[in-house]
Amino acid sequence: MERYLSWSGGKDSSASIIIAHEKGIHLDGIIFSEVMFDRSRNISGENPKQIKWVYETAIPIIERLGYKVKVLQAESDYITLFNTRIQNSKTAERNGKKVGWLLGGMCAANDRLKMRPIREFYKNVGEHEQIIGIAADEPERLQRLKPNSRSLLAENGIIESETYSMCRRYGLLSPIYEERCRGGCWFCPNCSVKEFAALKRQYPELWAELEMLSHDTEIVSKGFKYGRTFDSVNREIDLINSQMSIFDIVDNSGGGYDGAKIDGLD
């Protein structure tokens, strides 16, 4: 029977890889499912800092430990879901229009773009054992483990707070923990407005992708973030970013600033 470890890039699943290595536990592979924003242009939907770290740092380290990482991607992507035409809706005027923004709390991206490839992979593998990164102090999650799943963390009494130092020791602690930023998809409606503001500051090209979608007049779902329109969120993040720019200048000038040096302000 084959044995695989499901890896998210987070601390618990990374610590599970470390335990497997230290205990000499054989793994037939490590599975990482990457959500794509636009496959045709190779634009990942994952947190930009996280996915860069996954490919450039984490995977090489894991492979040096002797494990092969298999990256899964769904055949569809966020753009596909956004542009899907609605059919057979009880509300007639919706039929033929595009779905539009994904709904918070009912994330089609997580189910169809991340979890579906994992389900299909294990279905094709057949009988297998799956290692999941659940810490010893997460009893409710441990109780939900399927019969063919196990937690190396729980078996070795590793609690969640201990996984940070384990990962740091091997260079497998994601930058999302060091910088205290959110993992997951950068377009997720669960992102806070401040997180979206940071995205626009650091990756304006990605925010421009969402802004372009916001101009589509055929979409049914107009709520970009829990009912709020994209324009509403965009105005708020511009206010946040303009205030941060002022504070940055104050910090760098010893308590005052020269107004003539602030771009876009009188």
Structural domains in the chain?
Answer: 2-184 (3.40.50.620), 191-266 (no CATH)
In this structure, the strands spanning 29-33 and 128-131 are unpaired
Query: Residue 80: is it exposed, middle or buried by C-beta count within 10 angstroms (0-12/13-18/19+)?
Result: middle
pLDDT at 206: 98
> What gap in Å lies between CA 50 and CA 256, rounded to an integer?
36
Closest CA to 47 of 206, 167, 166: 206
Confidence band of 55 (pLDDT split at 50, 70, 90): very high
Residue 256 has pLDDT above 50, yes or no: no
Closest CA to 244 of 197, 207, 178, 204: 197
- Considering only residues 219 and 250, tell me which one the structure prediction assigns the higher pLDDT: 219
Mean pLDDT estimate for the chain = 90
Instruction: Report the pLDDT averaged over residues 99-124.
Output: 90
Residue 103 has pLDDT above 90, yes or no: no
Residue 262 has pLDDT above 80, yes or no: no
Question: Which segment of 6-15, 177-186, 199-208, 233-242 scores lowest on mean pLDDT?
Answer: 177-186
> What gap in Å lies between CA 188 and CA 16, rounded to an integer?
27
Say which amino acid occupies 73: Q
Number of C-beta neighbours around residue 233 at 10 A = 21
Instruction: Report the pLDDT averaged over residues 32-49.
Output: 97
In this structure, the strands spanning 2-6 and 69-72 are unpaired
pLDDT at 246: 53
pLDDT at 250: 46
Residue 73 has pLDDT above 70, yes or no: yes
Residue 156 has pLDDT above 60, yes or no: yes
Widest Cα–Cα separation across the chain: 69
Instruction: Report the pLDDT averaged over residues 93-117.
Output: 89
**Residue 179 is encoded by which pair of tokens?**
């910088």
Residue 264 has pLDDT above 70, yes or no: no
**Distances 97 to 183, 228, 230, 256 between C-alpha atoms, Å:** 31, 20, 19, 53
- pTM, two decimals, is 0.87
Number of C-beta neighbours around residue 97 at 10 A = 17
Residue 1 has pLDDT above 70, yes or no: yes
Query: Residue 184: is it exposed, middle or buried by C-beta count within 10 angstroms (0-12/13-18/19+)?
Result: buried
